[in-house]
Chain A
Amino acid sequence: MNNPIRTLARSYKWQVIYKHSKELGFKLFDNDKDLSNIQINFLQWLEIYSSLYEDLANKEKFITEEWLDNDFLVDIYLYWRRNYKYKKENEDKEDKPKSFKIGGLTVPAKMSIRD
């Protein structure tokens, strides 16, 4: 069974409220300070699901709307995203030859001026 806080956080209603609260600056809760644990937890899930909907909009390979409805599958995807996708992207970036230009000359990033 899905966690009801997560179900609410991924709902269309709360995602729209969350998105526009950031843009238009209106409040999600009645209180401004002393957030309760449930409010902090809810905010965390709003942000996580917002990022997942972005992945969906960006047509990320492995995420579907069906996955978003299942807490376990979301956990699996989040684990993969954190430990494999981002790691692989970082490795790819490191593998690419980095260079910069000085006065029309392209200099490899690892080469120092003295070389």
Chain B
Amino acid sequence: MIERKDEIKKVAEKILENSQHNELEDLFKNNFKIWKVGEINYRVHFATHEDFRDLDDALAQEYTRLMRSPNYLHRCDWIKMYEEKGTGNDKYKNLEDLDDRYNEISRELNELSPKIVEEVDDVARNRLFEGQYIPLVDEQYELSQLKKHLLRYSIEDKLNWFTNLYGVYLTLDIEVDGKFQRKFKSFDEFMKVENSPELEDIILTATRYFKTLNHPKEL
């Protein structure tokens, strides 16, 4: 029974993997992705020069708004604040400790790499890889997540978040009479979709395509 379940899980994973690959191939072959919701075609296109110009203007406005707000600080100011007040994390009292450990892990990984490559005994190599290398990679990933979390209210992080949001607004199209046009007439209209689960779903899908086109390294 367990074997059968495992088999089904493997097949499901394979199907998911194949659909992910087809989606990706579509994206990088054409630089856009069209998908259907009901009878309507939606599209996310690669941002044009005009889109980038609009985004730049919007970013300048958002930056000014964040700078005027007392709630947001630059990353460097947050780092100073954590130095004074601590991060609330028992292991890493401030971000410098966290960065030091991150860099130390990078050094350890670099030292391990030639040992793993040049190890001729499979068991010994696996011990180095699974027993030492992978736990360090996992720890480094956790550190980067923790740092991201601690700096989530920084002006820089808020601007990154805004870039994705505004980018989706600019590049999400709807097909009308055989032609694609921008789905939302204004950014304000785009921001008011909270009451429509269907539109929220479309925006979530569009965000995934937008991020894949523009930030593939995060995949």
Taking Cβ atoms with an 8 Å cutoff, the residues of A that contact B are: 3-5, 7-8, 28-31, 34, 36-39, 41-42, 62, 72-73, 76-77, 79-80, 83-84
A5 pairs with B134, CB closer than 8 A: no
Cα distance A106–B84 in the bound complex, in angstroms: 70
* Least distance between A55 CB and chain B CB atoms (Å): 12
Q: Please, which residues of chain B bring their CB within 8 A of the CB of A38?
A: 24, 27-28, 212-214, 216
Contact residues of A: prevailing secondary structure: helix
A4-B17, A72-B133 known; A77+B219 contact, CB < 8 A: no
Q: How many residues of B contact A (CB 8 A)?
A: 29
Contact residues of B: prevailing secondary structure: helix
Cα distance A34–B48 in the bound complex, in angstroms: 9
- Given A76-B113, A84-B114, 5 other A-B contacts at CB below 8 A? A4-B17, A5-B24, A37-B213, A83-B110, A83-B114
A36 pairs with B28, CB closer than 8 A: yes
CB nearest neighbor in B for A28: B29
A39 pairs with B28, CB closer than 8 A: yes
Q: Which of B20, B21, B117, B214 contacts A36 (CB 8 A)?
A: B214
A4-B17, A8-B21, A72-B134 known; A29+B31 contact, CB < 8 A: yes
